[in-house]
Amino acid sequence: MASREDMGSWLDGSPQGAGDGRSSRDDRLRLPATGSGSFAPVGRRVGALVVDWFLSMAVSLLLFDSAPMATLAVFAVENLVLVSSTGYTVGHRLFGLRVRPEDERAPVVGLLRGAIRTVLLCLVIPAAIWDADGRGMHDRAARTIIVRS
């Protein structure tokens, strides 16, 4: 049985030190407070998601005559291939974002992390549940972070 301590980061609320110019989230994730490599704001992340979804809808319409699950399949393939290999989707690139592993030494996300992240992203609910740091469950599970590029 899971205890409150196991779920602590999901239930703690706002990160400590949020008004000191450098939040504890930045310290925990080893990110700069501003600029390139800093934590990506929600607005940019949502904008990138919308761009990727509309591109997937267009490809689905052209190739599959808008079959019910085709848009989701195109979206999943785009995310898996592009995030695993380059670290960003078309939407991420347009909004100046990049998905990187928590471990700074890893050069790319890789296929396993990309697959975990993509499956959970396509299930929607894990991506809509955020922890106190503002990271979705899909990024926590895949041990990835979305940062400004």
pLDDT (tens digit, 0 to 9) for every residue of the chain, 149 residues total?
555 555 555 455 544 444 444 457 556 666 666 666 677 788 899 999 999 999 999 999 999 887 779 999 999 999 999 999 999 999 999 999 999 898 877 788 999 999 999 999 999 988 888 887 788 899 889 999 888 88
pLDDT of residue 46: 92
Q: What is the pTM of this model?
A: 0.77
CA distances from 56 to 35, 76, 81, 133 (A): 30, 9, 14, 29
pLDDT of residue 8: 52
Under 8 Å between Cβ of 97 and 48: yes
Q: Where are the domains of the chain?
A: 37-148
b/e per residue, 58-87, with b = 16+ CB within 10 A? ebbeeeeeeeeebbeebbbebbbebbbeeb
Q: Which residues, in sequence order, are bridge partners of residue 75? A: none
What is the DSSP code (8-state) at residue 139? H
Three-class SS of 94-125: HCCEEEEECCCCCCCCCHHHHHHHHHHHHCCH
pLDDT of residue 39: 77
pLDDT of residue 57: 93
